[in-house]
Amino acid sequence: MHHSTRLLAAIAATLALPLASGCKTTEQGQAKLAPGQFEWQPERSPSGPVLVVVSIDDQMAYVYRNGVQIARSTVSTGRPGKETPTGVFTVLERKVEHESSIYRGAQMPYMQRLTWGGIAMHAGDLPGYPASAGCVRLPYAFSEKVYGVMAKGGTVVITKKGAAPSQSARPANILLASRATRAEDRAVPDPAGTVVWEPHKSTTGPFSVLLSYADKTVYVWRNGVQIGQAPIEIVPGTTPPEGVFMMLAGTEPPDPRFPGVQLHPWATLSLKGGTGGNRPVGGIRDSVRFPREIQKKANALFTPGTIVLATRESSNNATRSSGDFTIMRPEG
């Protein structure tokens, strides 16, 4: 997955004050915040995996823990000509005190690097409009708090339009569970091609999966190292949905169709704005076929915090046709 960092005006950002009910709202229906304002309510979800979603159109960042919004803040993203890339990123490096190697002397407190090419989240000036050289600037106090709840390998999604995760009604770890429980599934042959499985290359760390419909390939990563790859087939006449899926803490009731499989709730996030909705999980399950070998091996590694990214973009440089969406690829 593809991970392809500026100026701090050290100001203590204030917490957002209650706003009148008649004030303007964001796409997510929440009261607008003034530049530098933020809200922080970690008690709403005390534990679980963390997901940060940045909306360029809203100039806002939203923090979700175990699928529940615990914070939001104004941000400043890239100015014209230096736009912040959209896509799905993981945190590659973290430093409380950091000086930019590209813009000498530019201080970037609470830096969380998203690409090796210079894109990061960090504390910085928030004038109320896109003004950075590509990074996501956060209020100083908010950047410190976000730094405290995230870790290396954490997931950050940057979209044009505001997007909010919704909990899936059909747990997504079935995405890679064996479909051989039904006669019609047993009749579908494995996708043709080589299955690569090398878990010894990375034995610990965050686990993530990329489904590239363009490549017709599923890629498996652990701690930024690719440990698996296999062909997939798309069922003729179907259009599998795109989105980001995160496994949450907690358990779901057993499903008799999948004996012995521990089910977990998942959050689904649309990459096109709005909410993920419930159907994307079932849509992938109904539209995509995986080799049974990779199903069994990958499914055993799913734990809370696991990310599945399903996209029509290509992750293969030889077939990639557009550069406006960044796919997680830590070694990129």
Residue-level pLDDT at 299 = 82
**Ranges of CATH 2.40.440.10 domains, the chain:** 38-160
Q: Does residue 183 have a pLDDT over 70?
A: no
Q: Does residue 198 have a pLDDT over 50?
A: yes
User: Which 3 state secondary structure label does DSSP give 201?
Assistant: helix
Q: What is the dihedral of CA 128, 143, 327, 190, to 10 degrees?
A: -130
pLDDT mean across residues, the chain: 79
Q: Which residue has the tokens 């995230």?
A: 150
Mean pLDDT confidence for 294-318: 83
Q: What is the DSSP string of 264-280?
A: --EEEE-SSSEE--SHH
Mean pLDDT confidence for 4-24: 28
Residue-level pLDDT at 325 = 65
Enter the CATH code of domain 166-322.
2.40.440
| Residue 290 Cα distances to 9, 180, 235, 307, angstroms | 50, 11, 11, 17
Q: Does residue 76 have a pLDDT over 50?
A: yes
- Are 92 and 205 contacting, i.e. CB atoms less than 8 angstroms apart? no
Residue 129 to residue 97: CA distance in whole angstroms: 25
Compute and round to an integer the Cα radius of gyration of the chain: 20
Q: Does residue 237 have a pLDDT over 80?
A: yes
- pLDDT tens digits along 35-47: 999 999 999 999 9
Which range is least confidently modeled, 107-111, 160-164, 178-182?
A: 178-182
Mean pLDDT confidence for 247-276: 77
Residue-level pLDDT at 247 = 87
Q: Does residue 8 have a pLDDT over 50?
A: no
Q: Does residue 322 have a pLDDT over 90?
A: no
Closest CA to 130 of 72, 80, 55, 74: 80
Q: For residues 221 and 161, which has the higher predicted lDDT (pLDDT)?
A: 221
pTM above 0.85, yes or no: no
pLDDT over 70 for what percent of the chain? 74
- pLDDT tens digits along 213-222: 999 999 998 8
Q: What is the DSSP string of 73-91?
A: EE-B-BPTTSPPPEEEEE-
Residue-level pLDDT at 104 = 62
Q: How confident is the model at residue 138 (pLDDT cuts 50, 70, 90)?
A: very high
Q: Count the alpha carbons within 13 Å of 143 in the hemisphere toward its beta carbon.
A: 31
- Are 3 and 115 contacting, i.e. CB atoms less than 8 angstroms apart? yes
Mean pLDDT confidence for 100-107: 67
Enter the CATH code of domain 38-160.
2.40.440.10
Q: Does residue 20 have a pLDDT over 70?
A: no
Q: How confident is the model at residue 288 (pLDDT cuts 50, 70, 90)?
A: confident
